[in-house]
Amino acid sequence: MDLKKKIRRLPEFKGVVFWDITPLLRDSKAFKEAIDKLAEHYRGKDIDVIVSNEARGFIIGAPLAYALEVGFVPVRKKGKLPSKTVQLNYQKEYEKDVIEMHEDAINKGDKVLIIDDLLATGGTAKANAELIEKVGGKVVGLGFLIELEYLGGRKLLEKYDAFSLIKYPTTNP
């Protein structure tokens, strides 16, 4: 199945080209294939836990954790988690942001796979990796449903093993 055909391109959503995954999510066969292909890529690799950022990252990360039979840890925006947290301040393209996870979510030495729906400029993925490393986890990879190659986000992630299922080299498919 050509999963790219299940991604909707919206040229002017909030002033940017937006790659909408909701048609893929709505199609049970396409969604299953996307998760199965990601699982196939990561199956057999030494992973203790998957970490994903809210909210679209959860949609990809949680079923992948289930498929790989590993734990799942959510990373959220500041103030959304109920227990004691560890946080990281980082610079996004246009603003500063803060992400948090429970301080006991990652054990020292845990092998962590970070999963998100989209790699754009790489800032959020890098912040997630830094948060994992801050608590003593080892980032063994970063996986994405979609990579917007034309934004060069992979440059920020050079020290990590990154994988993308669907790649867009330009804004016009």
Task: Identify whether the C-beta of residue 142 lies closer than 8 Å to the C-beta of residue 162.
Answer: yes
Residue 74 belongs to some domain of the structure: yes
What's the predicted TM-score (pTM) here? 0.94
**Is position 40 annotated as part of the catalytic site?**
no
40, 54, 93, 130: the active-site residue: 93
Residue 35 belongs to some domain of the structure: no
Quote the pLDDT of residue 13.
63
Residue 142 belongs to some domain of the structure: yes
Residue 25 belongs to some domain of the structure: no
Quote the pLDDT of residue 15.
67
Q: How many residues does the chain have?
A: 173
Show the domain range for 63.
Answer: 46-168
Residue 116 belongs to some domain of the structure: yes
Residue 59 belongs to some domain of the structure: yes
Quote the pLDDT of residue 168.
94
DSSP 25-80: HHSHHHHHHHHHHHHHHHTTS--SEEEEETTHHHHHHHHHHHHHT-EEEEEEETT-
**Is position 43 annotated as part of the catalytic site?**
no
Quote the pLDDT of residue 122.
94
Quote the pLDDT of residue 92.
75
Quote the pLDDT of residue 14.
66
Number of domains in the chain: 1
Q: Which residues of the chain have pLDDT under 50?
A: none
Residue 77 belongs to some domain of the structure: yes
Residue 160 belongs to some domain of the structure: yes
In tens, the pLDDT along 3-28 reads: 999 999 988 766 678 899 999 999 99
Quote the pLDDT of residue 171.
78
9, 56, 133, 154: the active-site residue: 56
In tens, the pLDDT along 32-44 reads: 999 999 999 999 9
Check which CATH number belongs to the domain holding 61 and give it: 3.40.50.2020
Tell me how far apart the alpha carbons of residues 61 and 67 are, in angstroms, rounded to a whole number: 10
Quote the pLDDT of residue 87.
95
Quote the pLDDT of residue 18.
85
Element (H, E) at 131: helix 123-134
